[in-house]
Amino acid sequence: MVSPRNIRLALAFFVISATIGIATAIFQKGSKPTHPPPDSGQLRPNVDLALSKAKLSEVHGNTTVWTIVADRADYDKSGEAVYLTGVRMDFPQNNEEGSIVVTSNKGTYYTKNKNIALRGNVHVTTESGIVFDTETLDYESSASRFRTADNVTFRQQRMTLTARGMDLYTNTDTAQFNSPVQAVVAGKRQ
C-alpha cells in the first residue's frame, strides 16, 4: 500500500514540475523577438519612385493614343520599366467602333518601346458592346495591337466565343483568333 507521505511527495513533485514548465513556456514565448509585419508602403529594391493614382499617356502629335490610370506605379531604377497595380487603360474613340477600355490587376510599361504587359483578370470592353476576358495581354505599341497566347473569351450580345490566342488591333478594332474557336449563340427566351 502507498503511504500518504509518498502521495504528498508525488503531488509536490507534480506541482513543482508543472510550475517550472509553465514558467519556462511563458519565458520562452516572451523572449522571442517580434518582427513587425512588412510595410506594404516600402519600395522593392529595384524601385526608385512609387506613385499612387498615377496617370501615363502616349500621345502622337495632338492625338492621345492611350491613357493608363493605375492605383500604384513603381518606377524601376533603370528607368526602363514602370510596374503598375490596379490598371485601367483607355483608348479614346479613334474610328466608328468607339473607345476601348482595358483593366487588369497588374501591368508593366516598358519605356523604351512603349509596350505594355498586362497580367491578371484582364478585361477588355469596347463602346460597341464587345467584351474579351483573358489572364495575360501584351500591347505592342508599334503595331497598335494587343496579343495573348492564353485562353480568351469573347462575348457580344448573344454570342460567346472561346479560343486560345488572339491578336486585337486597336486602330481597326479587328480581332484574329490563333486557334480553332468554339462558339455558342444563345437562343431567344420567350
For residue 54 the three cell numbers come to 498615377
pTM across the whole model: 0.70
Q: What's the confidence (pLDDT) of residue 164?
A: 94
Average pLDDT of the chain to the nearest whole number? 81
Place of cell 502622337: 60
Comparing 60-69, 87-96, 124-133, 168-177, the range with the smallest average pLDDT is 87-96
Q: Which of 10-14, 16-20, 167-171 has the highest mean pLDDT?
A: 167-171
Q: How confident is the model at residue 7 (pLDDT cuts 50, 70, 90)?
A: confident
CATH annotation of 47-185:
2.60.450.10
Q: How confident is the model at residue 39 (pLDDT cuts 50, 70, 90)?
A: very low
| Separation in Å, CA 21 to CA 7, 15, 16, 27 | 21, 10, 9, 10
pLDDT at 44 over 60: no
Cα 133 off chain centre by = 14
- Name the more confident of 61 and 33: 61
